[in-house]
Amino acid sequence: MLEELLHVHEIQLNDLCTNKKETEDRVKDLLISLIETKGIRLPMASTILHFYNPETFPIIDQRAYRELYEKEAPRFTEKNSCDIYVKYIKDCYKYWEDNCKCVGIEFSDIDKILYQLDKNNKKPIRGYGKREK
């Protein structure tokens, strides 16, 4: 897995967003390797990929997902994580092109933008916050 991570910077966003099967397969293989590691699920795997290649891999979390799709994030499982994340990357790219690119925001910041927009709307994170008695 470490050898694969050393080459993650070679994965281009454009190749992924234009549905190049080889690139999608490579990303899914990387995700599977990461998610099979004890203690790593999709949000942590996306964070690792982001730090190796922020120009291609946004971080996925509850807030960013909710802001992008206007619904709560599904439960991330080993089975659905790869498809969810590849779709998320493509949808983040479309959101960025439509809303952020023209004002000079870099794609590498899209996850932070989505997170902050959700936070500004004062939406609680599932499983946290005040509980009703």
pLDDT, tens digit, 9 for 90 and up, residues 11-22: 999 999 998 999
User: pLDDT tier at 5 (50, 70, 90 boundaries)?
Assistant: confident
Evaluate whether residue 31 is within a structural domain. yes
Rg for the chain (alpha carbons), in Å?
Answer: 15
Split into its structural domains, the chain has a count of 1
> In this model, does residue 88 exceed pLDDT 80?
yes
Evaluate whether residue 133 is within a structural domain. no
**Burial class of residue 85 (count of CB atoms within 10 Å of its CB; 0-12, 13-18, 19+):** buried
Q: Which of 64, 60, 48 is nearest to 116 (CA)?
A: 64
> In this model, does residue 104 exceed pLDDT 70?
yes
Evaluate whether residue 36 is within a structural domain. yes
Evaluate whether residue 126 is within a structural domain. no
* Segments forming the whole domain that contains residue 27: 2-120
Query: Residues 59-82: what's their mean pLDDT?
Result: 93
Half-sphere exposure of 116 (CA within 13 A, CB side): 5
Note the helical H segments in the chain.
2-6, 13-17, 21-35, 42-52, 62-69, 81-99, 110-120
Evaluate whether residue 92 is within a structural domain. yes
17: Cα separation from own chain's centroid: 13
User: pLDDT tier at 126 (50, 70, 90 boundaries)?
Assistant: low
Q: How far apart are CA 23 and CA 109, in angstroms?
A: 22
Give me the pLDDT at residue 127, please: 56
